[in-house]
Structure 1
Amino acid sequence: MGDALPHSYFSTDRLGREDKFPVWRDSVSVIYQADLTAPGDEGGFHALADGYLFGAMSQIRCRASRQHFKRDRMRIDRDGIDHYMIQLFMRGRCHARTPQGDVAIEAGDICVFDNAQTLDTTNDDFDLLALFVPRSLLAPHIKDADHRHYQCIRENNPLTRLLRTHMLELQKQAPYMTLDQGGLAVSPTIALLAAALNGNPHENESGEQAIRMAIVTMLKRYIEENIEDSALSPESVAEIFGVSRSRLYKLFQHYNGVAAYIRDRRLAHALTILTDPTQQQRKIIDVSLSVGFSSESSFIRAFRRRYGFTPSEARQAGACAYLPGGGLDKPETGLFGDREWECWIRSLQA
């Protein structure tokens, strides 16, 4: 017998009434800001997260009381989490607010959440399975990989039922699976996900999408490694990789072009510096120059446009608002199980 699959179990059942929601909110802050939908609900709040790590993906069963979830641009840029969360709602209802209109997700539906995009939802008391899949695993196999946020496949779709059965059985068999067996479950799960999301993808389309994804991943890595180089530009990237400006723009069309992508990654890097407690003494102008901006004023304007407040305001408020913990006096670990699932969410970038 090989090693068992990594398992994480978190529950608020043994916590005092005053600790239930604060401890849960702190745990889920790894990815979302959670708030109660009505004052005074703290005492009756409950939450459970019970999951397994299957190689490069994880699946977590989550049951919790009604609450509001939010993931804003500042949180996205600060944590860098970039994967899909596919949720199967077994009980409860989710109401998502989007620029294109509201989306209602009912029990039995399966919905895709792209964690590189903003989120604003209210969940009734719910019981769901959440499958976390790195973008690099799923995106090459689905059409319009950057436009799947809030895509909902309804309960009456036969492929939804097939995927539902697979996810439920995966959770049921996980306690008996070894590490190797868990790893072997990844590929068929990705294939079934792609089939459910695409319908019947054409092989050539899938191949072209995989090539595009590989190129974009390589370009993103290069940009990230050189984000502090003031000479980094669309022209320099095009020249180094031997691609035309028009081709480069198409590859980054979802991000409004490579110039916008470079600017946004520079701002995200600056946000990390500004909210780092060890770098509080650095001047704003030094931060702006270190991430490739030519002047402090242009940096402040760009930062305000992206996040809605100035770099100085981010420095004052960001560290408390976006760092898990935030001064919370945590109960003993044994009272709520463990929080290993948070580490999986942070590191799941295969």
Structure 2
Amino acid sequence: MFENSGGKELKDLRPTLVVKKDTRKMPLKRALDFWQETAGSLYDVNISQPEAFHTTHCTFRLGELLLTYCVSVAQKLSRSSYRVGADGYDHFEVQFFLAGHWSRQDGRQEAQAAPGDLIIHDAAQAHAGSASDFANLTLFVPRSMLAPLLTSPDEQNMRVLCADEPMVGLLRNHMDNLWRVLPLLDERQAAALALPTVELIAVTLNGIKRQDVSRGISVAQLGEIRRYIDAHALDPTIDPAGIAAAFGISLRKLTYLFSGDGGVATYLQKRRLNLARAALRDPAQAHKSIAEIGLEHGFVYAHNFTRAFQRLHGLTPREIRAVAQRNWMTGTHESRSWFDRAALWGR
């Protein structure tokens, strides 16, 4: 699958390529450094046999998406609440193993994936897993593109969907075809494929049959309402009644639409807490106290802000700010997003 360009070097073919590496041609230290630059930018990595490490790694860009093909050795990868709070990266990873196996390692529940199964990782939530020697294909999708289309965007982390599900097979074939055709496309053509791809992912994760028109309309309406809430999250007057009125639906219908999110008020609070996390990490807002930021994001009382923030993010607002301040001082936070950082791989 990796060598499908007829013997030509991908870097000489198309501008959609972000990075291509085969570390078997490198000294071991350089290979490990490259893995720390790529996988290590998101995860704490524990390689079973570091002395035998190697990876074949190739990443393409489709507009705001990244598609990565990777072959490597057995290892564990974990993303802690501390790391989530420290880097603030916020995207989904849609992953198919082509060879090898993956298993969930956070102690909460059993989940395993074999070749052909679909695995979802949410970078905004802590997660941990282990893989045997593997080959996989992973699509990195910004939350802003996918979450509004999902009925339960916060319930996807470490979810495994079986290979024999028809929609999973359709998505797998689509990603495989993307991988094969991307070397032949220019950036404009590749970018045009991004939104249809995200929509297919959403249909797959929502478990919707394409002919189920009434449910499809509900999902489309839910996405529209989510975008409205996201745009007005810091408006102190926004409330469920006003949202229902803005869309001409009843409170009962609004409650039904957001049942997978724990209710519209819960969704609104999560959105505000995510914005508060970004504000705490923003050096331009370093002059504001934690209480001020809490108030700007809908929390009149600082202790309520701290409690809700820690419950969602695993760290207190003070801890998030302390990590961010260290990054400001050392200059270790190199880019605004993980996608910006990925563009620097291999340079």
Tell whether the structures are fold-level matches, with TM greater than 0.5.
Answer: yes
Indicate the residue corresponding to 2:16 in structure 1: 6
Partner residue of 2:78 out of 37, 62, 70:
70
CA distance in 1, matches of 2:151, 2:262: 19
Indicate the residue corresponding to 1:335 in structure 2: none
Indicate the residue corresponding to 2:58 in structure 1: 50
Aligned pairs, number:
324
Residue 27 of structure 1 contacts residue 324 of structure 1 at CA under 8 Å; is this kept in 2?
no
Q: The residue matched to 2:299 in structure 1 has which SS?
A: coil
Indicate the residue corresponding to 1:261 in structure 2: 267
Q: Residues 88, 245 of structure 1: CA spacing in aligned structure 2 closer, same or farther, 3 A cutoff? A: same
1:224 matches 2:230: yes
For residues 59-208 of structure 1, what are the structure 2 equivalents within 5 Å?
59-71=67-79, 75=84, 79=88, 81-83=90-92, 85-97=93-105, 101-106=109-114, 108-115=115-122, 118-132=126-140, 150-154=159-163, 167-179=175-187, 182=190, 201=209, 203=211, 205=212, 207-208=213-214
Q: Residues 182, 264 of structure 1: CA spacing in aligned structure 2 closer, same or farther, 3 A cutoff? A: closer
Q: Choose 253-262 or 93-102, whichever is displaced more.
A: 93-102
Q: Choose 64-73 or 289-298, whichever is displaced more.
A: 64-73
Deviations, residues 212-262 of structure 1 (Å, cap 9, x unaligned): 333233322332233333333323323333333222222222221111111
Q: Percent identity?
A: 25
Indicate the residue corresponding to 1:233 in structure 2: 239
Q: Residues 185, 235 of structure 1: CA spacing in aligned structure 2 closer, same or farther, 3 A cutoff? A: closer
Q: Residues 43, 280 of structure 1: CA spacing in aligned structure 2 closer, same or farther, 3 A cutoff? A: farther
Q: Residues 177, 308 of structure 1: CA spacing in aligned structure 2 closer, same or farther, 3 A cutoff? A: closer
Q: Residues 322, 126 of structure 1: CA spacing in aligned structure 2 closer, same or farther, 3 A cutoff? A: farther
| Structure 2 letter corresponding to 1:6 | T
Q: The residue matched to 1:127 in structure 2 has which SS?
A: strand
Can you give the 5+ residue segments of structure 2 that lack an aligned partner in the other structure? 1-12
Q: Residues 293, 223 of structure 1: CA spacing in aligned structure 2 closer, same or farther, 3 A cutoff? A: same
Indicate the residue corresponding to 1:332 in structure 2: none
Q: Choose 183-192 or 214-223, whichever is displaced more.
A: 183-192
Indicate the residue corresponding to 1:331 in structure 2: none
Shift of 1:64: 2.6
Shift of 1:294: 0.8
Indicate the residue corresponding to 2:279 in structure 1: 273
Residue 45 of structure 2 contacts residue 75 of structure 2 at CA under 8 Å; is this kept in 1?
yes
CA distance in 1, matches of 2:310, 2:131: 31
Shift of 1:168: 3.8
Deviations, residues 7-35 of structure 1 (Å, cap 9, x unaligned): 121437276644544543343466x3232
CA distance in 2, matches of 1:324, 1:160: 43
CA distance in 1, matches of 2:95, 2:77: 14
| More RCO (CA 8 Å, sep 6+) | 1
CA distance in 1, matches of 2:162, 2:51: 35
CA distance in 2, matches of 1:143, 1:216: 7
| Structure 2 letter corresponding to 1:69 | L
Q: The residue matched to 2:96 in structure 1 has which SS?
A: strand
Can you give the 5+ residue segments of structure 1 that lack an aligned partner in the other structure? 329-338, 345-350
Residue 143 of structure 1 contacts residue 209 of structure 1 at CA under 8 Å; is this kept in 2?
no
| Structure 1 letter corresponding to 2:228 | Y
CA distance in 2, matches of 1:46, 1:114: 23
CA RMSD after TM alignment: 4.4
Shift of 1:317: 2.4
Q: Choose 271-280 or 185-194, whichever is displaced more.
A: 185-194
State the TM-score, normalized to the length of structure 1.
0.71
Indicate the residue corresponding to 1:342 in structure 2: 342
Q: The residue matched to 1:120 in structure 2 has which SS?
A: strand
Partner residue of 2:36 out of 25, 34, 43:
25
